[in-house]
A and B are shown apart, each in its own frame.
Chain A
Amino acid sequence: MDEDFDVIVVGAGFGGPVAARICAEAGLKTLIIERSGNVGDKVISGLTIPFYGFLLGPEFIRDGNPPIERPSDGIINYIIKDIEKGDIEIDDSLRVPKPFSPIFAFGYNAYCKPFCEWEVRKAVDTGAILKKSTTVIDIIKEDNCIKGVTTDKGDRIRSKIVIDAEGSKGLLAIKAGIREKYRPETISLADIYDYAMLKEDIDKVFGYSVKMCWGWDEQRIAPPLGYGNGLMVWPYRNSLHFMQDQCLRINKNHVPNLVELFKEYHSNITQKLSWWKNLVEPRVKLRARMWDGFEIYVGLNKKLRNMPNHTDGMILIGDAAGLESTELCDGVPAAWFSAEIAAKVAIEAIEAKDTSKSFLEKYDRKIKEHPIIQWSISGRNRYNLRIAQKEHDLKKLRKYIHNGWGLGSLTHFMTPFFKSLLSYVNNDPTIITKWIKMFFRYYQNWFYESYDYSRKRKFRETTSKKLKKMEMKFTRYLRLIDSLLKSLRKKQKFLSVIVVPLSNSLNNLMKKTLPIFEPIFSFILRLLNPISNRLNVKILKFVEYANPTIFYI
């Protein structure tokens, strides 16, 4: 292939196709190069894509119907104090309460392969060209500027810009001289098991909750605190994903024997942890085991965090740019955000006929200004668990778990989240109703297994007048919200005087008020439980029977 392109995107994971679609939509001649035989063959993760990835990410994902395995309404943390005595504490404070769950989800669990395939089809639909089974082996560099790539097929493919979405190893970025091999302390090796389990059993045992286990190292129940993920279990539609992961090097010199350790952790967790042993083990069948490394602690190192993500003719996105989230260990939202920014900068650069390092610096500036990206790569709670581990301090352990994967996360998430929301609402106030529709549409599509390009939907036909009335009400309320927000836009300047300082101080406000607010919140939830449950049943029924078009954009 000796054709010239405007943009070459290397890698068809989560980020690459987003960049490719946006570039192709803008009329740029775009090529995606993927090393595997089928898209998604080599993408491995246990995955809840957090809600903010969908809300603030690419329009075509937010307004579309991507393949999801199960909505997730929160996290149940098991703090294992003594496994032999069964002394286990639970922190399940991070949860979307009923009646909102599972329509308003904390995130969406997904298999990587169908999701990446879906994204690639969206990119190809807008004109991007996909070249599979092709490994990029080097860059073409002329006059100190990257002008394309060479492949294992012997092709020299030229382009004005290369967007590197290669993933965490970053071999291409190293060749381009903008990255170095990461130190092993920053990389966690994730050992992943996929189990088949009946949907009814998952509904009963897990519902919509992700389960995480944290235990002292000497119990050998999960990888040591702060040196990896502990243990995470994700419920999918008819299956579970189980992940234990640990950093490749701990305490500077010690490279653990992961072959032995993972065997030990896995056997202890499945044999000693009561909920796994009694409720899960008898109902599951191992379907697959795989592993991959990802760079969870890159963002904590200031030098690494500030490494350039661009050079003349090249931009790095997602994991290739080291944008893995330290706490949620999820790189997808940051991959989407960075892909979108990269594509827009690439489009501007090509229009301006300037793909130099100085022009593309705009990309790095935007990455550094992005509140959610910066929050997600620099969260310290997981890392701080090392201190709790070393000091064997239960109080600290509870605190860091609560702040990372409990309601305490609001004390550091609210300001970046609210800032990002504001910038979106400023651009288009009607986005709020698009978000609401997204949650309803996603749940309905999950219920019917009906995604773009799939044909599984079987409508439940109903001529109920009550339903029609509810559909009309739903549409009318959303219109009302739209017109209210549009009218508020006229008072934007006035409102920003209040809203901007409020958003800046939200984290501090949460820090001060959460200790009082949290017990009250949980008391009210308990009190309202019977009403919430009844309302929840009604809402779910409405969404299951409603005409899908009312949730479309």
Chain B
Amino acid sequence: MVRTFKEFLGVEWVEGTGDFIKIDEAKCIGCRNCVNVCLAGCFEIVEKKARVKSLEKCMECASCWYVCSEDAVIFTWPLGGTGYKSDWG
């Protein structure tokens, strides 16, 4: 199943990615870095800890992973053939 979103034209997301980004709550200090750099709005802060809200618009740029100084963001690739795709890259 392929999804599109009005605010991100020209990009499609194939479902079935699996939880390819996770947060290790024990390590998270709630600094908001991941929230600040994620253009897809995948993260939210709940009770001073970051949480993955939804990966449905994730473009797999890994910015969340790079900016996490505590290594609380665990980044892997989505399953083969899933996730974002575009003809206009």
Closest residue to B17 on the A side, CB-wise? A135
The 0/1 profile, CB within 8 Å of A marked 1, for residues 47-89 of chain B is 0000000000001111101110001000111111111111111
Whether A150 sits at the interface, judged by CB under 8 Å, is no
Top 6 closest pairs, chain A to chain B, by CB? A288-B10, A133-B81, A41-B85, A44-B89, A288-B88, A37-B81
Q: Which of A112, A113, A255 contacts B37 (CB 8 A)?
A: A255
Cβ-defined contact, B62 with A40, below 8 A: no
Contacting pair B63 A248 (CB below 8 A): yes
Q: Is B28 in contact with chain A by the CB < 8 A criterion?
A: no
Q: Does B11 contact A (CB under 8 A)?
A: yes
A291→B71 CA distance, assembly (Å): 22
In the complex the two chains form, is B80's CB within 8 Å of A151's CB?
A: yes
Are A292 and B67 in contact (CB-based, < 8 A)? no
22 contacts across the A-B interface (CB closer than 8 A): A35-B78, A37-B81, A37-B82, A37-B85, A40-B89, A111-B89, A135-B78, A152-B79, A181-B71, A187-B66, A192-B89, A257-B36, A258-B39, A259-B38, A288-B9, A288-B10, A288-B11, A289-B10, A290-B11, A290-B59, A290-B88, A291-B59
Q: A171 contacts B77, CB within 8 Å?
A: yes
Cβ–Cβ contact B89 & A191, under 8 A: no
Residue of B nearest to A285 (CB): B9
Inter-subunit contact B81/A113 (CB<8 Å): no
Any chain B CB within 8 A of the CB of A287?
yes
Across the interface, name the chain B residue whose C-beta is closest to A249.
B67
Whether the pair B61, A293 counts as a contact (CB closer than 8 A) is yes
Please indicate the chain A residues that have their CB under 8 angstroms from the CB of B66 in the complex: 181-184, 187, 248, 293
Any B CB within 8 A of the CB of A134: yes
Do A289 and B89 touch across chains, with their CB atoms under 8 A apart? no
User: With A and B bound together, what is the CA distance between A181 and B75 in angstroms?
Assistant: 11
Interface string of B33-49 (1 = CB under 8 A from A): 10011110100000000
Interface of chain A, main secondary structure? loop
The answer on a CB contact under 8 Å between A288 and B63 is no
Residues of A close to B87: CB separation below 8 A: 111, 113, 288
Binding site for B on A (CB under 8 A): 35-38, 40-45, 111-113, 132-135, 137, 151-153, 169, 171, 181-184, 187, 189, 191-192, 194, 239, 248-249, 255-259, 262, 286-293
Q: Is the CB of A187 within 8 A of B63?
A: yes
Give A84 to B89 CA distance when docked, in angstroms: 33
Docked-complex contact B80 and A181, CB < 8 angstroms = no
CA distance A248 to B39 in the complex (A): 12
A248-B67, A289-B9 as given contacts; A169 in contact with B14, CB under 8 Å = no
CA distance A70 to B86 in the complex (A): 20
Q: Is the CB of B80 within 8 A of A290?
A: no
Contact residues in B for A113 (Cβ distance below 8 Å): 86-89
Given contacts A40-B89, A182-B66, 18 further A-B contacts (CB under 8 A): A35-B78, A37-B14, A37-B82, A41-B85, A41-B86, A42-B60, A43-B89, A44-B86, A111-B87, A113-B86, A132-B80, A183-B66, A187-B63, A255-B36, A256-B37, A287-B10, A288-B88, A290-B89
The residues of A that contact B14 with a CB separation of less than 8 Å are 37
Pair B9/A286 contact, Cβ less than 8 Å: yes
Q: Complex formed: what's the CA distance from A259 to B64 in Å?
A: 12
State the Cβ distance, A293 to closest chain B Cβ, in Å: 5
Q: How far is the CA of A257 from the CA of B43 in the complex (A)?
A: 13
Whether the pair A169, B75 counts as a contact (CB closer than 8 A) is yes
CB–CB A42/B61 < 8 A: no
- In the complex, A293→B66 CA distance in Å? 10
Measured between beta carbons, the chain B residues less than 8 angstroms from A133 are 80-81
**Which residue from A42, A137, A187, A249 sits with its C-beta under 8 Å from B76?**
A137
User: What's the minimum C-beta distance from B53 to chain A, rounded to whole angstroms?
Assistant: 13
Chain B residue with the shortest CB-CB distance to A44: B89
B37 A287 Cβ-Cβ under 8 A: no
- How far, in angstroms, from A257 to B37 measured CA to CA in the complex? 6
